[in-house]
Structure 1
Amino acid sequence: MYEPIRSKSVHAMTDAPSDIPHRSREEELRIQLAGHLAALLAVTDELGLDEAAEAIATQIARLRGAPPVRHAGLTGASTAELHHRALDLAGRALVVAASRADTAAAILTAERMDAHTAALATAELVEA
């Protein structure tokens, strides 16, 4: 019913090696982990948790090879919302840290998850 294609496709890649740089899975995970930690750092800074923020910044610097850029942008979210956001971000970072077997980042993110969970539990007790 259909005639087979007899010429080379115009969409086919050339036989020459690609000039497009490719990253390894390890590099992609490192970049992803640094991104999650940077987002967690922004929320941690907004919460005013200086000691935790410095620990996160140290991990970002280790992953990126340079200290993170920090901003003073405030979202105006409530403390409970910020703790929820930080808990989510720490969870995402923990998954990536476990995928790349990064013990230091995994321990840090697990500690942050515990801290934000405790803060949320305390906030719920205060509201009740």
Structure 2
Amino acid sequence: MSWWRGWRDRIETDAPLGARTWYRIGGRAKWLAHPSDAESLSRLMSAVAAEGVPWRVLGRGANVLVRDEGFDGVVIVLDAPAFTKMTFEDVSVCVGGGADLMKLCKACCDRGLSGLE
């Protein structure tokens, strides 16, 4: 399968997932993709949809169990700066899908914001 040809961002094959979960258990992903920005993520999603490749997004690994057999598809990790930034404007917050929840909670608390909980 060549859906990832031309992919400019980092992709790992046969990537261990156990190290990416809090429980440190589980198998491997056929592919582990690290898109660099929203455009790259969009291209990735179009490519896997066109090929019918199964996919999942993996956050920071809390409350996730990976089967020993692993995942026969693409695991997407939103760890690039484009997905981890937080922007505060008055009482509104814009947060990337890869942001650290504890850092977000602390940043909101530091600004006197509530309602996130």
Instruction: State TM-score, norm by structure 2.
Output: 0.31
The structure carrying a bigger strand percent of its residues is: 2
Decide which structure has the larger Cα Rg and report it: 1
Instruction: State TM-score, norm by structure 1.
Output: 0.29
